A and B are shown apart, each in its own frame.
Chain A
Amino acid sequence: MKDFEYEAPVSLATAIEQIAAGNGSVKVLAGGTDLIDHIRTGRLTPSLVVDVKKIPELNVLEINSDGLRLGASVSCASVYGNEDICRDYSALSDSCHIIGGIQIQNRASVGGNLCNSGPAADSIPSLIALDATCVIAGPQGTREIAAEDFCTAPGKNVLESGELLVELVMPARPAKSGSHYLRFIPRNEMDIAVVGVGASVMLDETGETIQSARIGIGAAAPTPLFAKEASELLTGLPANEESFAKAAAAAQEIVTPIDDMRGTVEFRTHVTGVLTKRALHVAVERARKS
């Protein structure tokens, strides 16, 4: 690997100083499951790597009546190892369960998955479905942005040079709410999503009517998408297959997938519809049980 310096600051303020001082040739290191390979292959040539895993703010994992606070460097294994997340933010734990194998999950963070900003990144549709806000810190202070606005192009995002992602904040999940993420891959394990869909729903107290829903779609456009119309049309509809089919049709309208060895445009569009229905179906089942 090409030579670089390494720092592992224990405070956010120091990290921001070090990242800002590096003038754009700094890379933040969380679990390293994307970054280390990118450096090894020469795709990235940072002069400084700043390991952010020792910063307390990036290790927060707090769940209470305000919602969920997830530090950017918390590992996927810690996410699905948390029973409260598995129960109330199931889409996120579903995502974390399928990112790589155990060795990857023990290191890879949700923050790193988001900041790597791959179109097929498995945590992003779930973050969108769960209405996550990204908290970003930099020399100019702190700012917030919705998960669906974070990625701007394949591998690109809104982070300015000198900034880092601190945490992801998700609102509390009331009774009768549920969520699910699933993807289509040609193998059972260890593959890149052909399409991935995350859905969350809130039902009325009878469990029969949808009060609100959010659908996030991955691998079907240059960036993960928030399927706004598909989500909003569900409000007030009965929680049944017919409603899910309407949302699926609306979701298929917004995708702009690519043709590659994993699937054609036609196939990916079809799969978007199928997965939207399935994600909603499971999210509703979970909501009824909650």
Chain B
Amino acid sequence: MAKKRVVTTKINGRPVEFLCEPRQTLLEVLRENLDMIGTKEGCSNGNCGACTILIDGKAVDSCLVLAVEAEGMNIETIEGVASADGLHPLQQAFLEEAALQCGICTPGLIMSAKALLAQNPDPTEEEIRFALAGNLCRCTGYDKIVRAVQSAAKMGCASAAK
């Protein structure tokens, strides 16, 4: 078996060192080695976006990243989105707009939306739909999700996202 590697990263602002095998995806290591189960596994092949996290500010599917690749990277997951003061505007908006049912897709959608708003604080509906095209939701319907992102943008989510 391939030797385990020590990987040094930053996760949600805190330095984290973990041990992993080269064959483990970052999704697997987050959920199974680090007990961070907020990031969800849907398809494990890059189609559903449930496993979306941010690496150096960019949305990626963590099921398509090897954990060993994360050396030196800055990782953000759903666990780091709320602050001590309460929910993030995106999380608040998803609740208020009823933009979730089973919730499996929600962490990924929030991470994708967070990356979008950090880059583009006032997106059009079309820009939101494009940015979320890699996130599938099988229960809620996308209109409510898009409305939630629009409402978070209005709440000034961009400043909160920084």
What is A's interface to B at a CB cutoff of 8 Å? 1-6, 8, 29, 31-33, 36-37, 39-41, 49, 51, 53, 77, 100-104, 106-107, 188-190
The 8 Å CB contact of B59, one of A1, A31, A103, is A103
Decide if B64 touches A33 in the complex (CB within 8 Å).
yes
Secondary structure type dominating chain A contacts: loop
The residue among A32, A33, A51, A77 with the most chain B CB atoms within 10 A of its own CB is A32
Report the Cα distance A101→B52, complex, angstroms: 11
Cβ–Cβ < 8 Å partners of B58 in chain A: 77, 106
Cβ–Cβ < 8 Å partners of B115 in chain A: 102
The residues of A that contact B46 with a CB separation of less than 8 Å are 33, 37, 100, 103-104
Number of interface residues of B (CB under 8 A): 36
Is the pair A5, B22 in contact by a Cβ cutoff of 8 Å?
A: yes
Q: Decide if B140 is an interface residue (CB 8 Å cutoff).
A: no
Residues on the A chain within 8 Å of B49, using CB: 101, 103
A234 CB to closest chain B CB (Å) equals: 33
A102 and B64 form a contact (CB under 8 A) = no
Cα A4 to Cα B68 with chains together (Å)? 12
The 8 A-B pairs of least Cβ separation, nearest first, read A101-B134, A6-B22, A189-B133, A1-B23, A101-B133, A106-B58, A103-B134, A103-B61
CB neighbours (8 Å) of A33 from chain B are: 46, 64
Q: How far is the CA of A51 from the CA of B72 in the complex (A)?
A: 15
Residue of A3, A77, A107 near B64 (CB, 8 A) is A107
Instruction: Tell me the minimal C-beta distance from B50 to chain A in angstroms.
Output: 11
Cα of A31 to Cα of B61 in the assembled complex, Å: 11
Which residue from chain B places its CB closest to the CB of A39 in the assembled complex?
B23
